[in-house]
Chains A and B, each alone.
Chain A
């Protein structure tokens, strides 16, 4: 058995978190579970020929449950528990045991799963009653198309007095959602194909992340945002030209202030080619861009990217939501960037140190409201568009984000759910049974690209119909009229400071 299957005993033993229950009456001994589990949970005893489970290896990805033809499997929480302690939670205790046993830094995947304040859930949306009638989106025009980029500040005329209608470069989105940055390497090529094709079909964009652009995906360039991060992997003129916009990644909500590090072991084959990093060599993305120490330096990078692309591509600057985000955004708005993307505390990731993910940064709702208020106060809100993510879970979150001041929302985890992700949060293992966060060819093949595209398109269209439903209810027929329209929001369970930062009234007021 491989190393992953060696389960220690004694002081290093960690009891399983899950218990795999097989209903013997239903099981038809078909071996599907054995084949489907890349973690080796289901095993057939060589001597007896009987199926058994190694619960310690289960990550609760639900793959076997979904694919068991007789639904004979269930994954439950393991009944064993440590003595309950509200302060020393089981997660903290297990982390301590792991670190005492290995000396390692705790590593997690996906967004912070801990119970925390989700401000979206404390915001309530308005609807028209009696006065200001609501609109029926099924029978009346409802515009969710939006444009991202710098708005002209004044009317310009040419020598003949005709209005100059030329605009700075913009991104046009058929709906106020787009797919957030996930690199090829953190997710599979099939997952990237799903994002690219769905973006094209939906009239929106996906984002390469910092791992370069695979040669097979250049054809989706019109729906692609290419990312430039501190390591500049895979960045060359053809890459910058390939997309519809360029995103400078300064930070990420799941790990603000720290860099990325793709180990050499994962730099193989197409990943090596796409990142333009030799096979086996580490790809180190340091925490800072080593040429950016000020807004002026950021401006230099932004304007340099524009110069290299003849000013045809809008430039996005992506930052994590951190304490002084309003001042930071104000600086970015003056850097020449067309769009500011802000990623919140609960944002997802393919791998991040647990302690950083769960403790650094601030919630996106507060960051967004603070930034929108600040840019308005300074009279520069129209100089940039605002994109927010981390985390946007459903259409209601989208509507609330736009009412708080966003132009559109980055959607990452929800897009993965459409492809089959069950949020087992083990992306870093590289053994994603759903073929998403893996590079093992036999696992990647499990993600059927056609089906993935269809499901992702359906999910986004469903969200968009719900967005229209919300808008109709508010008597608003254009998404632009919802942007920053905080009168459409009320809060519950919020204190005075929270209401003030969010710029909304308590429900009932």
Chain B
């Protein structure tokens, strides 16, 4: 990793780290929209909240947010990892995709807004809902996984029992943590970055959401 850049008293500056490939960027304060857009390998760590479009179309690298993020975090991300200690807004992971050896991962410690994983075409989204109970919020709001046709969403707990409604084109299964081994390294990363107990988080059931088809919207057309 190249040089380390430290930003202090950040207050809404947009596009920090756009397209960066070889640096470590540490931010005190609150960066503005599109933090780490098109990120291409750099590591960005924010000791505070972040705003909308964190990691927009990011290709590689890692973003760690010690707080909450706004809407459309991880829009169309194709590679790399995003860790959010707290909550995410609307449309987290919209259009997340994967290709070849690129398989993006987004871990959200708190709850997310509506349209989580909309049009998801690849990658792994993990939502832990760690303080959902205290906040009296569902782990995800309305319409998660709408248009999902690739990748995987894992929610901590039994989301079906909790009344979360999923669209018909996805398969929803409640599994033991043991059946969810692939999330363990990322949950342990989360625990490491934010000082949580990974083993504790990995206890109990998880809800695994996968698409039924990679071609959910094959519409019947007739040549005219």
**Is chain B a partner of chain A in the same complex?**
yes
Which residues on A are within 8 Å of B, measured CB to CB?
A: 94-95, 98-99, 101-108, 230-232, 235-237, 240, 261, 263-264, 276-278, 280-282, 284, 286, 290-291, 300, 303-304, 307-309, 353-354, 426, 428-429
B220 touches A103 (CB 8 A): yes
| Residue in A237, A277, A281 whose CB lies within 8 Å of B19 | A237
Secondary structure call for the B interface? loop
Q: Which residues of A contact B14 (CB under 8 A)?
A: 300, 303-304, 307
Q: Which residues of B contact A108 (CB under 8 A)?
A: 224
19 cross-chain CB contacts under 8 A: A94-B224, A101-B222, A104-B219, A237-B38, A277-B121, A280-B214, A281-B122, A281-B149, A282-B214, A290-B72, A291-B72, A291-B94, A300-B14, A303-B15, A304-B53, A307-B19, A307-B34, A353-B221, A354-B224
Chain B residues 166-224 with CB under 8 Å of chain A are: 214-224
B217 touches A282 (CB 8 A): yes
- Contact A237 to B21, CB < 8 A, known contacts A276-B78, A284-B119, A304-B15: yes
Which of A103, A108, A308 has the most chain B CB within a 10 Å cutoff? A308
Please, what's the 1-or-0 string for B71-107, where 1 marks a CB less than 8 Å from any CB in chain A? 1100110100000000000010011011110100000
Having A105-B220, A108-B224, A264-B214, one finds 14 other A-B pairs with CB under 8 Å, namely: A104-B220, A261-B219, A276-B78, A276-B102, A278-B99, A282-B121, A284-B119, A284-B149, A291-B94, A300-B34, A300-B52, A300-B53, A307-B34, A309-B19
Which residue on B lies nearest to A426, using beta carbons?
A: B223
- Contact A276 to B97, CB < 8 A, known contacts A284-B149, A291-B56: yes
| Residue in A101, A282, A290, A353 whose CB lies within 8 Å of B91 | A290
**B222: min CB distance to chain A, Å:** 3
B19 touches A308 (CB 8 A): yes
**A335: min CB distance to chain B, Å:** 14
Q: Which residues of B contact A98 (CB under 8 A)?
A: 222-224
| Residue in B52, B94, B102, B214 whose CB lies within 8 Å of A281 | B214
In Å, the complex CA distance between A263 and B221 comes to 11
Which of A231, A278, A286, A290 has the most chain B CB within a 10 Å cutoff? A290
In Å, the complex CA distance between A286 and B120 comes to 12
| Residue in A101, A107, A230, A308 whose CB lies within 8 Å of B38 | A308
Which residue on B lies nearest to A238, using beta carbons?
A: B40
Which residue on B lies nearest to A429, using beta carbons?
A: B223
In Å, the complex CA distance between A52 and B215 comes to 39
In Å, the complex CA distance between A304 and B150 comes to 27
Q: Does B140 touch A at the CB level, under 8 Å?
A: no
Q: Which residues of A contact B218 (CB under 8 A)?
A: 263-264, 282
- Contact A284 to B224, CB < 8 A, known contacts A291-B53, A307-B18: no
The 10 closest A-B pairs by CB, nearest first: A104-B222, A308-B19, A307-B15, A307-B18, A232-B76, A106-B224, A276-B99, A107-B221, A104-B220, A281-B214
Which residue on B lies nearest to A280, using beta carbons?
A: B214
Secondary structure call for the A interface? mixed
B59 touches A236 (CB 8 A): yes
- Contact A304 to B38, CB < 8 A, known contacts A281-B121, A290-B91: yes
**B160: min CB distance to chain A, Å:** 26
Total inter-chain residue pairs, C-beta < 8 Å: 139
A286 touches B119 (CB 8 A): yes
- Contact A236 to B98, CB < 8 A, known contacts A102-B220, A107-B221: no
**B210: min CB distance to chain A, Å:** 13
A231 touches B34 (CB 8 A): no
Which residue on A lies nearest to B147, using beta carbons?
A: A284
Q: Which residues of B contact A290 (CB under 8 A)?
A: 72, 75, 91, 94-95, 118-119
B150 touches A300 (CB 8 A): no
**A68: min CB distance to chain B, Å:** 26
**B104: min CB distance to chain A, Å:** 12
**A363: min CB distance to chain B, Å:** 22
B99 touches A231 (CB 8 A): no
Q: Does B57 touch A at the CB level, under 8 Å?
A: yes
Q: Which residues of A contact B76 (CB under 8 A)?
A: 231-232, 235
Q: Which residues of A contact B71 (CB under 8 A)?
A: 291
Which residue on B lies nearest to A272, using beta carbons?
A: B99
A308 touches B18 (CB 8 A): yes
Q: Does B37 touch A at the CB level, under 8 Å?
A: yes
**B31: min CB distance to chain A, Å:** 12
Q: Does B33 touch A at the CB level, under 8 Å?
A: yes
In Å, the complex CA distance between A191 and B119 comes to 30
Which of B19, B72, B214 has the most chain A CB within a 10 Å cutoff? B19
Q: Which residues of A contact B221 (CB under 8 A)?
A: 104-107, 353, 428
Which residue on B lies nearest to A105, using beta carbons?
A: B221
Q: Which residues of B contact A94 (CB under 8 A)?
A: 224
Please, what's the 1-or-0 string for B119-133, where 1 marks a CB less than 8 Å from any CB in chain A? 101100000000000
Q: Which residues of A contact B78 (CB under 8 A)?
A: 236, 276
Chain B residues 33-83 with CB under 8 Å of chain A are: 33-34, 37-38, 40, 52-53, 56-57, 59, 71-72, 75-76, 78
**A273: min CB distance to chain B, Å:** 8
B222 touches A106 (CB 8 A): yes
Q: Which residues of B contact A303 (CB under 8 A)?
A: 14-15
Q: Which residues of A contact B19 (CB under 8 A)?
A: 237, 240, 307-309
| Residue in A107, A277, A291, A309 whose CB lies within 8 Å of B75 | A291
In Å, the complex CA distance between A263 and B215 comes to 7
In Å, the complex CA distance between A236 and B21 comes to 11
A282 touches B34 (CB 8 A): no
**A297: min CB distance to chain B, Å:** 9
**A277: min CB distance to chain B, Å:** 6
- Contact A278 to B224, CB < 8 A, known contacts A235-B57, A290-B91, A304-B34: no
**A417: min CB distance to chain B, Å:** 22
Which residue on A lies nearest to B222, using beta carbons?
A: A104
Q: Which residues of A contact B75 (CB under 8 A)?
A: 232, 290-291
Which residue on B lies nearest to A107, using beta carbons?
A: B221
In Å, the complex CA distance between A232 and B79 comes to 13
A231 touches B95 (CB 8 A): yes
In Å, the complex CA distance between A308 and B38 comes to 7
**A80: min CB distance to chain B, Å:** 19
In Å, the complex CA distance between A278 and B99 comes to 6
Q: Which residues of B contact A276 (CB under 8 A)?
A: 78, 97, 99-100, 102
In Å, the complex CA distance between A429 and B102 comes to 32
Q: Which residues of B contact A105 (CB under 8 A)?
A: 219-222
